[in-house]
Structure 1
């Protein structure tokens, strides 16, 4: 019976082939009906035959599948009229709009990207057959994040001209919580100890609202790896997670997790050996090898060893090395022999380096910072160093690099540096309001990337209630190819500190001159700088307070006591800068140290020196550097050297240090530090004079009185510490986070005068009455030589690198103040970053 059926089937197949062969014909015409959006030529191009070809019924059937495969049609029918083939098509509707409703856990950008991957996007034909798979895929995603009640429905609304609107409606529901996590098989470490290591939390009480017990599949998988690593890092080489079960409660609001483990025993390292090619770096690899005989096996240390060797080989061009550690376990002694297999692969060379994104900055400015060279072998160290050097430029916001394999070559790559620029010029301005100084305003202009050359140039104009200044400057950071910089400046200023808003004791200073500076790189992170300035100072209208007595004695012309103070200085400076900061503006990692010594030459009218030290350190607190800790220390000291006419030179008051405002937020600008003291002789009436009306005679100096000014005169020593927690800025997108910074800060410090002697006023009487148009009573005298008179403030700061330049907003409250300090709660500045 079976043979008869087989024969019958063969005869039927032969007959069918004969019929198909008999029904073949030559196509004389092809007609297509129903086209609206798809061009006729595009439809015909998808057919497997053309006019003049001989076709069969089988060929026509195949053509239907081919047309469906083009993705443009919902329904296809084919007819034959003599030797004419007629196709009647129904085009798929075109998507006019895509909408989302109810989605919270998935952003619209992610949804659009996912739909585009399935060819579902505006302007494309809609294939309704894939909508169900999209619904299932999204539902599966929600299940993965613990939302087992989630529903996703795709709704299609038909429009005229064969168009549709597609709407995805989401009912996400509530996330299931992890009700319980059970670990079965552990005896060495308790459940609590293991659960404390993982991110998933179970059945949290209501008061732990900052934590979450929401179930997420990916988080749980990561927790399994964490537990596995916890055992391996403590020598349990045989530890194994045998199985895991996740159960969902009937109401889909709770999840129960069970983990079955086998702990095994601890193993010690008996021997460490190498196989493979160490490319001549045997000594270095042995020196950096952290694995030692006799120590407890540590999985994290093994991984670190592999990564360290890979990084070392990458320094010498072996970018694709494969490092693998093979353990050989001795169950009797509970020891393990580790064999580290090193396969360096081929040394990789850089064929070409490309840069993009630098629309304003010339290529050569970027390339001169690169340490990875074309034609040299690929070095990860040099790539990272190149990235950091470019990113430290103040006009580069961010930069990244990628290596692109060269087609047809397994030992060559191209390197592409992609960067994002930020405004390189700044419109320097500041506005602040304080309880005493009132409204203050200043303005200026600077350009840090002059015509894209990387040179700093410009005219800085500054004006406010008490100051007018102009500064012409130019600096070429690459005056020579090896990085020697050269710069110069011309400057002029006219300052009138008689305005109350300056917070300084009244005087008028006119200052002008010129200078030059040159810098020499020592290595990638250190630089020496040298400078020289010629400075002319003219001071008049000065209030003769008591602390000026030394300055007056060495400079004032006894024949012309009202002529003011005129002096010319020749200044020399030297400095050292060390920087490993990862960015020029708004760094998040690294440190910066700057030390500067400036002194006048012996042939100057005044002989003095100033030393200034500044150190900043950034410690990232998160992998993405959105959280970072910043500390800053600023120190300064100055004094005179030599003497004249029996009087020692001192630091001129115009060179004093000041605090308050930008460097000690919460205090009014320049208000912190020593105040001027005015001493008045006590007099007795003399014999009446018929011409002048009478004269008076000073009594003994011990009977003098004094007043303490409300204004500051600064000091010759400064110490300020800043602690700052850099936080993510709310409502700022990821692409703008490098240009906006929010921070919480504490500032503390003091300015003092090491030459001040409070005993000079010990037996004198302080007069605190209002005088001289002062707005408040005079402050009490305090010891201005005491460095322990610390001021402190705390607050929040917002900084933004805007098109006009860096903007800084600070809101601060004083924690600790001293007599005479004034508060400034809010300040706003343009052109200041810190």
Structure 2
């Protein structure tokens, strides 16, 4: 550094000597100007920085001005002014142009952060290099490393000359190891112990080996934050006179350790003697005074004071007063240790919205976002409406983050623009699933779902499945903005072939194709109602014999048990949905409910109804909502109604509820929970002369109980999840990666099953399963484990590690499940 300073001083002395040479003679009138040494800078540009023209009379003062002006242009490294007769000669050496910037050895500072710092100093590729700036950059970077405890760090700027007056600039970093905190001492505390105060601090020392998330490296900014945390700890408990008198940070001689000492004065507790509301609160004094948390006679609490100020500001913002000033003035009485709080309110001017803008939406059109904005242009600004608009946009599954800001218009004190800054996330997904079961073996499925087709907000999906048990294709479409009022219109077209012998259900084959349409109406920003109608044609064949299915088969067969069954249905449905979730994907606060009821029309070949209720509640446990609890419940019931051709209608077994798997009961094989298929084998007591058999006593019949699931017409599933920060993942990834600890519980049962009819029969099951009372809703299952969900470029991925807590005879428990394209 000293060598560079000597060189710079020499340059300046050289310039001064040229100036003296030019001024040693008498003053003269400039007849011509000649500039020498220009390479990159144009002659005309150089002359604009020279405050001398032909015909001017020169003197020492004007020559000094010219030199300063040329240096201020930042283009020149050296400047000399000479006289050749009556010609003024300006001799310059241009600053070299930066050809490349290289960073080497930087771990704690990213290249992008370094470039931002250099841009602020005018150091960028293609610009002239001011070598005098490099020293301040080096020192600034060293100060940064010192602030994070790296006292052995060094930064060196290396300039390598290149042809054509160009240079390469390399910043060489030697960061070294950060000094660890050896000890933190809090001096002067008598009311609270060191342990009570230290547990709230971010900086720690002498932590156990397993607590690898603790911050033991010294960081100046973190220390400042811990001092504020310490102050808030006392102020929130009434210690109004608390103060951190001094802070000492000392190093070990090796510069690898830090000792921190904070000297505090605790003072005494103060109680609130009175609360007075002054100023203009727009006639809402009575309401505000009722909801204020500040109460005379209670201990002073700084957090409640801050909350009160924010509450009043937000409340006034609902009426268009976006920039109120709320100030709490304390009147402290040290004699009786009380404080009177005066809340001074100035609402300011009422603000009108001129324009609403959207930034960051490279895919989604402005019109789609504007459909979700309830704050209108040309009306009074309302913080409540802005928050509602933000929440509605955040619930869109293709929005990762939404924020808003109000921008004042220059020259206007009552008009603002509102900018919504959004961050999109992939709206399309490649759905795939992979699994393995004792009966299903390897299963694969794939599909494409686009929830924001061409940025229009329309949903379009194509799902194909060619797993061992099913081949299916389905096209779905939904336009949530079919009308300007928010009426939606959609439809589905699907076809499937199913083979139950390769799945965890009773044996049957089916072919089904369907077509449907639905229309939705918004009730308000949280509630919506939908109507739908679906036509379906179903063919059943290769059906096995099971006790629970015979009643359904008999209404279609005419003494031919092998004949296929073909029926048509027209299913009308109505559903209600409500959502106050803070996000569409990975919400952490709010709730969602959906209730649906569907029924086949009387002209259908089968008459049945189904009802389902889904409910989820999110309870944030921390202010940043990285910790949250999810409680969920799913209920379902279905049955037949009326009779057809004298046959009492029941719920078709193809419409039964099933449970087990990633979206219902983790820890159990897909569709394995609930009633199982049973067969009753009549006993034989007599044989005729031609070998014919005659049934014997029904009480001696044999019952086969299979592991294959029959499903049931009733369902109750629930669970609780603790959502926690994902280890080793930055907080910025919370919207794409989620980790939770879960407890799942539930059951599927058959209200029409008659257990007394079979309980006394002898069981002869190849699977070794016993008979359970499948009409008993209390035969619940439960599991617990950990789940990790990731919104990957291919779509949502779910990894679950679980263990069955409560299982029944014949259940198929699974420890690990993995799915792509499914979230819950």
The alignment's TM-score, normalised by the length of structure 1, stands at 0.88
- The answer on 1:767 being equivalent to 2:764 is yes
2:594 alignment counterpart = 594
Distance in 1 between the 2:505 and 2:433 partners?
A: 18
Provide, for residues 346-379 of structure 1, a one-character-per-residue CA deviation record: whole Å limited to 9, x for no partner.
1121111122443443322221110111111222
- Pair 1:483 & 2:472 matched: no
The answer on 1:401 being equivalent to 2:391 is no
Deviates more, 1:73-82 or 1:631-640: 631-640
Report the counterpart of residue 668 of structure 1 in structure 2: 669
Helix, strand or coil for the counterpart of 1:198?
A: coil
State the aligned residue count.
800
Question: Any conservation in 1 of the 2:440–2:468 contact (CA below 8 Å)?
Answer: no
Matched, 1:653 2:648: no
1:48 aligns with one of 41, 48, 51: 51
Equivalent position to 1:815, from 797, 801, 804: 804
The whole-number CA distance in structure 1 between the counterparts of 2:235 and 2:724 is: 35
Equivalent residues in 2 for 1:84-483, closer than 5 Å: 84-204=87-207, 208-457=211-460, 460-483=463-486
Q: How does 1:482-501 map to 2 (within 5 A)?
A: 482-498=485-501, 500=502
Q: Within 5 A, what are the aligned runs for 1:544-623?
A: 544-553=545-554, 555-558=555-558, 561-602=561-602, 604-620=604-620
**Structure 2: which 5+ residue stretches go unaligned?**
1-21
Match of 1:713 in 2: 710
**Structure 1 residues 364 and 293: CA distance shift in structure 2, 3 A:** same
Residues 782-803 of structure 1 show CA distances to partners (whole Å, capped at 9, x for unaligned) of 333343341425354343353x
Q: Residues 405 and 547 from structure 1, CA distance in 2 versus in 1: closer, same or farther, beyond 3 angstroms? A: same
- Change in Cα spacing, 1:472 to 1:177, as seen in structure 2 (3 Å) is closer
Using the alignment, how far apart are the partners of 1:168 and 1:459 within structure 2? 52
Could you give the per-residue CA deviations for residues 441-497 of structure 1, whole angstroms, max 9, x where no partner exists?
334444433444323345555444343444454433234433233334444444333
CA positional deviation for 1:134: 1.8
Q: Contact (CA 8 Å) 2:701, 2:762: kept in 1 or not?
A: yes
Q: CA deviation at 1:612?
A: 1.3
Q: Is 1:782 matched with 2:786?
A: no
The alignment status of 1:688 with 2:689, answered yes or no, reads yes
| CA pair 728-161 structure 1, distance change in 2 beyond 3 A | farther
C-alpha displacement at 1:139, in angstroms? 1.9
Task: Say if 2:506 is the partner of 1:505.
Answer: yes
Q: Secondary structure at the match of 2:552?
A: helix
Q: Distance in 2 between matches of 1:400 and 1:168?
A: 37
Residue by residue over 1:321-347, the C-alpha shift from the partner in whole angstroms, topping out at 9 and shown as x without a partner, is 111011112333332221111111111
- Deviation for aligned residue 1:627: 5.5
Tell me if the contact between 1:750 and 1:790 (Cα under 8 Å) persists in the aligned partners: yes
Quote the offset at 1:658 in angstroms: 1.4
What is the CA-CA distance between 1:207 and the residue it aligns to? 6.1
In 1, the alpha carbon distance for the partners of 2:599 and 2:707 equals: 31
> How far did 1:254 drift?
3.4
Residues 259/812 of structure 1: CA separation in 2 closer, same or farther (3 Å cut):
closer
Answer yes or no: is 1:530 the counterpart of 2:531: yes
**How far apart, in 1, do the equivalents of 2:727 and 2:96 lie?**
42
- Structure 1 stretch displaced more, 464-473 or 364-373: 464-473
Q: Give TM-score scaled by structure 2 length.
A: 0.89
Counterpart for residue 10 of structure 2: none
CA distance in 1, matches of 2:398, 2:227: 44
More deviation, 670-679/479-488: 479-488
Alpha-carbon contact 2:798-2:822 (below 8 Å) kept: no
Aligned to 2:14: none
The Cα of 1:309 is off from its aligned counterpart by: 0.3
Residues 363 and 455, structure 2, Cα contact 8 Å, conserved in 1: yes
CA contact (8 A) 2:786 2:800 kept: yes
The answer to whether structure 1 residue 755 and structure 2 residue 761 are counterparts is: no
> Does structure 2 retain, via aligned residues, the 8 Å contact 1:707–1:778?
no
Q: Deviations over 1:186-211 (max 9, x none)?
A: 33333433333322334446565543
Stretch moving more, 728-737 or 373-382: 728-737
With 387-396 and 419-428 compared, the bigger mean Cα shift is at: 419-428
Distance 2:329 2:257 in 1: 42
Cα distance in 2 for partners of 1:730, 1:231 equals 31
Identify which range, 135-144 or 645-654, moves more after superposition.
Answer: 645-654
- Structure 2 equivalent of residue 541 of structure 1: 542
Structure 1: 5+ residue stretches without partners: 1-18, 770-776
Could you tell me how far 1:82 is from its partner in structure 2?
A: 1.5
In the TM superposition, what is the alpha-carbon distance from 1:217 to its structure 2 partner?
1.8
Structure 1 residues 560 and 193, CA gap change in structure 2 (3 angstroms): closer
Structure 2 match to 1:15: none
**CA offsets, 1:286-318, max 9 Å, x none?**
222111222222111111111110111111121
Q: 1:261 to 1:678 in 2, by over 3 A?
A: same
- Are 1:392 and 1:585, in contact at CA under 8 Å, matched by a contact in 2? yes
Deviation track 1:497-519 (CA, whole Å, cap 9, x = no partner) reads 34x2x222122233344443332
Cα pair distance change 1:330/1:112, threshold 3 Å: same
Equivalent pair of 1:437/1:668 in contact (CA under 8 Å) = no
Do 1:740 and 1:799's aligned partners in 2 also have CA atoms closer than 8 Å?
yes
For residues 8-47 of structure 1, the aligned pairs below 5 Å read 23-47=26-50
> Structure 2 vs 1, CA of residues 738 and 652 (structure 1 numbering), >3 Å: closer, same or farther?
same
Shift of residue 699, structure 1, vs aligned partner? 1.0
Q: SS at 1:25's partner residue?
A: coil
SS of equivalent residue, structure 2 residue 287: helix
1:521–1:101 distance in 2 versus 1, CA, 3 Å: same
Change (3 A) 1:169 1:484: same
